[in-house]
Amino acid sequence: MGTLTYDSRLVTTLDDRVLAHLQVVIWGKLRRGEQFSFTWHDSDRSGFGRTSIWIAPTIPLTFDYFGSKPPAINPRWIDALTKSANSPGGLQIVPEPAAP
C-alpha cells in the first residue's frame, strides 16, 4: 500500500498498482497544464465516505510506494482513468479493465 500526499497535509493510502496508474494520468494532465478534481472513496478506517481535491500544477503531490518494483501499467486502465479525469465529475478510480 502506497500513499498519495496532497499539499503536504492530506494523506491517503492506496494500493501501489492503483497509485501507479493514477500517477500516470495525473502527471499527464499536469504536464498539459490542466486542472481537475479527483474524488475517491475512503476506507472505513478514515471515518469519511469520500474525499474530493482540486489538482493543479501549483499544489504539491507526492506519490510514495511501498514496493520497490513498479507495477506493470495497463494501457486500457490509463484510458479509462483519463476518460474519467476529462469528465465533468473529474477523476475517479474506476475498475481495472482486462489487460490486452
Q: What is the pLDDT of residue 83?
A: 97
Nearest by Cα to 37 from 49, 27, 51: 51
Q: What is the pLDDT of residue 100?
A: 67
Domain assignment of residue 99, yes or no: no
Domain assignment of residue 98, yes or no: no
Domain assignment of residue 75, yes or no: yes
Query: Which residue range is the domain that position 44 belongs to?
Result: 2-91
Q: What is the pLDDT of residue 37?
A: 97
Cell of 67: 514496493
Positions in the chain whose pLDDT score sits under 70: 43-48, 100
What total of structural domains would you count in the chain? 1
Nearest by Cα to 6 from 46, 50, 45, 63: 63
Q: What is the pLDDT of residue 18?
A: 96
Nearest 10 degrees: Cα torsion 63, 23, 1, 10 = 50
Domain assignment of residue 100, yes or no: no
